[in-house]
Chains A and B, each alone.
Chain A
């Protein structure tokens, strides 16, 4: 059914434009030209913004990472040093700081390295899938080598005799932190999705840490974790722990940073997962109940597949964010004791603060490489899990 007046027929010698307007030859050409230019007009500001705010600094920082800052009369200069800043981090005097202390292979490490090597061979030996070309094998080899290198680094630095550098410390923050945050967030979300008394109150309370500035959280934890002077000092004294200092122990300090990080970011996991849980179609859950499934079966068979896509995105966002952790270790421990709690971002920040701009940019670029590798590997993993039929 149509309503309104019927459209008038176009005049002789004129054609209706796609928009329905009637234009003569030159006007139509102009309009068409403007129409073509309009695309560029709308596109270019965004492109220019992107170039200036993202691409340009990215390339300039590559250049900075290949230079050393020098102060000269009246200003400063960037002296070209090639790959020296990267060499310093990977093979030179900063290797221990960046990669960690690579201990000589003890029997435990030999076993660990053997397991890694076998794992690599298994990954490489798996037959390529039908239809996959040589590039697939090359890609698989690349990922296997990169994954093996990370595993080798973890084994050499985390097992006895070794000592993690800022790279492994960051990987620990990311791995442990994101896993614990997800576990706690999911647990709390499942609880708050139940019809229990006070669930609205708890939803607000569980969200509060996310609204506090990270520096505030770091100071709060610094006070809370002061066993000698903090609010729990009498309790620690009663337990005979007043003379213990987590801040003097590398792993104690790292755990303190991770506790603060978990406290800060669990609410993010919680709120997104709660929304995912509550958006499940109730018919499926009811059908499962009618079919006699218990709660555990209902969760694994019904709920988990429903929230898996959200989980994948959520974990991806947190992995990217967690790699950039800087405020907590900076305020809570100043990166100490020693360099034990320094993350890669804090490493870059301290280098920048001491005017080693080239070194700082080199750390930042290596971080970019690691994050890219981790994210792409994660995406390959979850895409396969989410798309393959179970």
Chain B
């Protein structure tokens, strides 16, 4: 107990002094080595690797950042902890997987550490990430280092030239994409694309389809949820609304690059910032990548908007699409239902509960260091980090963004789109029930990939997803899954 107390004091001392930033002869974690697992960079891994030597100089702790492809991250974490291999001491991962890691006790609860950590400035983290993403069953398990919302990015110069307005609905999106497709958008003499969306299987693309589906499926506010019926746990994908969303998603491919099905977010981002695409759907990364002078050909030519919405939404009683009105779309704007998707929940750091106590302390100190404003406020303005704003101060302080090279108008537009998503009363929460990875990363991802490859029709894809989700729900227990689903939406029945 005394040892734990002294270690805690060491952590607090380290965390507190890190803010002041003096150099020490010997740090509190001299000789400690921390293995942190995350996904193959450059995004996310880059800032961890870049800042690890600085942290070592400050504290003595050696940080080893180990990376694996995104598709392997979940199982690497789970098998390492479940088999008690425990070769990784900490993780930077998707907080939506918390249910699978927190329930069996694999992850260390960080509630008391966070409460005692003044340097972290916890209250500065936006409530959504602080109170929802980082929390499971009332306890805090992660330290957010990133904020994630999907948005639509467009080329301001091209839309202005064509006399078009940014898309408000998905039909607008398709019209703009059609108008600008096969035109030379970057002046290199070759035709470019109206829309570029990462659609590769076994990557991060299954979030893209839900960005389209969200506004068709959820219109009564965040607590309504977009994945399952709140009474029966029946999947909403079996509805006319999801079929319509799939139609839109497939249609975007008409204006995309020929090998779009093999594109992950790295490809779509690269294509957009080199001027090859008029529109794209992505997290906040495009905003900062577009101001990187080394790679960007679209500096000050990029706008961002909240995800487009729909004029028709799902009526859950009939399973049919109905027009938007004050009753069916209480949060609609000009008859359009927007449902911004908090996809992924923002990369966050967690600690292996089985790690040695001193290593846990060092791991927490590093995660706190990465999230503290002194580091975070710089990292969120650098495109390659993959970190997007998640602290209130990052939304309020335009200076950060102006210093990073963004124009005032671009910064206001970019932050405005994220804030509009963050503050939306109809925000779509990501799935956080046990084994959500199987629902989304396996069944949904595979079925959508087959649809895009014309292996199946929309009706077949809907059936495949619906039956696949039902099978998982039945296997894991419908009541248990329903209870977990309601809890994530804070619904009491």
Residue total for B at the interface (Cβ-Cβ under 8 A): 42
Contact of B201 among A74, A75, A338 (CB under 8 A): A338
Q: Please determine whether B72 and A353 come into contact, CB atoms closer than 8 angstroms.
A: yes
Residue total for A at the interface (Cβ-Cβ under 8 A): 39
Q: How far does the Cβ of A160 sit from chain B's closest Cβ, in whole Å?
A: 14
CA distance A158 to B103 in the complex (A): 46
Q: Please determine whether A163 and B455 come into contact, CB atoms closer than 8 angstroms.
A: yes
Q: Please determine whether B261 and A337 come into contact, CB atoms closer than 8 angstroms.
A: yes
Q: Which residue of A lies closest to B262 (CB)?
A: A247
Q: Which of B193-217 contact A (CB under 8 A)?
A: 200-203
- Which residue of A68, A72, A339 has the most chain B CB atoms within 10 A of its CB atom? A339
Residues of B within 8 A of A249 (CB): 453
CA distance A88 to B472 in the complex (A): 12
Q: Please determine whether B471 and A92 come into contact, CB atoms closer than 8 angstroms.
A: yes
Q: Which of B426-474 contact A (CB under 8 A)?
A: 437-438, 441-442, 446, 449-456, 464, 467-468, 471
Q: Given that A71-B104, A73-B104, A338-B456 are contacting pairs, would A355 and B75 also be in contact in the complex, using a CB cutoff of 8 Å?
A: yes
Residues of A within 8 A of B262 (CB): 245, 247-248, 333-334, 336-337
Residues of B within 8 A of A250 (CB): 453-455
Q: Please determine whether A350 and B202 come into contact, CB atoms closer than 8 angstroms.
A: yes
Q: Which of B57-88 contact A (CB under 8 A)?
A: 71-72, 74-75, 78-79, 82-84
Residues of A within 8 A of B468 (CB): 93
Residues of A within 8 A of B325 (CB): none
Q: Please determine whether B453 and A76 come into contact, CB atoms closer than 8 angstroms.
A: no
Q: Which residue of B lies closest to A97 (CB)?
A: B446
Residues of A within 8 A of B190 (CB): 237
Q: Please determine whether A353 and B258 come into contact, CB atoms closer than 8 angstroms.
A: no
Q: Please determine whether B202 and A335 come into contact, CB atoms closer than 8 angstroms.
A: yes
Residues of A within 8 A of B442 (CB): 354, 356
- Which residue of A72, A163, A354 has the most chain B CB atoms within 10 A of its CB atom? A354
Query: Within 8 Å of chain A (Cβ to Cβ): is B188?
Result: no
Query: Within 8 Å of chain B (Cβ to Cβ): is A227?
Result: yes
Query: Within 8 Å of chain A (Cβ to Cβ): is B231?
Result: no
Q: Which of A118-171 contact B (CB under 8 A)?
A: 163
Q: Please determine whether A74 and B467 come into contact, CB atoms closer than 8 angstroms.
A: no
Q: Please determine whether A338 and B258 come into contact, CB atoms closer than 8 angstroms.
A: no
Contact of B453 among A73, A336, A354 (CB under 8 A): A336
Q: Which residue of B lies closest to A355 (CB)?
A: B75
Contact of A227 among B72, B258, B446 (CB under 8 A): B258
Q: How far does the Cβ of A149 sit from chain B's closest Cβ, in whole Å?
A: 23
Residues of B within 8 A of A337 (CB): 201, 261-262, 449, 452-455
CA distance A207 to B203 in the complex (A): 35
Residues of B within 8 A of A333 (CB): 262
Residues of B within 8 A of A163 (CB): 455-456
Contact of A334 among B75, B201, B454 (CB under 8 A): B201
Q: Please determine whether B75 and A353 come into contact, CB atoms closer than 8 angstroms.
A: yes
User: Other CB < 8 Å A-B pairs besides A226-B259, A250-B453, A338-B452, 18 of them?
Assistant: A71-B82, A72-B104, A75-B83, A163-B455, A163-B456, A228-B257, A245-B258, A245-B262, A248-B259, A249-B453, A334-B201, A334-B203, A337-B201, A337-B455, A338-B446, A338-B449, A338-B451, A354-B75
The interface of chain B, by Cβ under 8 A from chain A, is 71-72, 74-75, 78-79, 82-84, 100, 103-105, 190, 200-203, 257-262, 437-438, 441-442, 446, 449-456, 464, 467-468, 471, 475
The interface of chain A, by Cβ under 8 A from chain B, is 68, 71-76, 88, 92-93, 96-97, 101, 163, 226-228, 237, 242-245, 247-250, 333-340, 350, 353-356
5 A-B interface contacts by CB (under 8 A): A71-B103, A247-B262, A248-B259, A336-B200, A336-B262
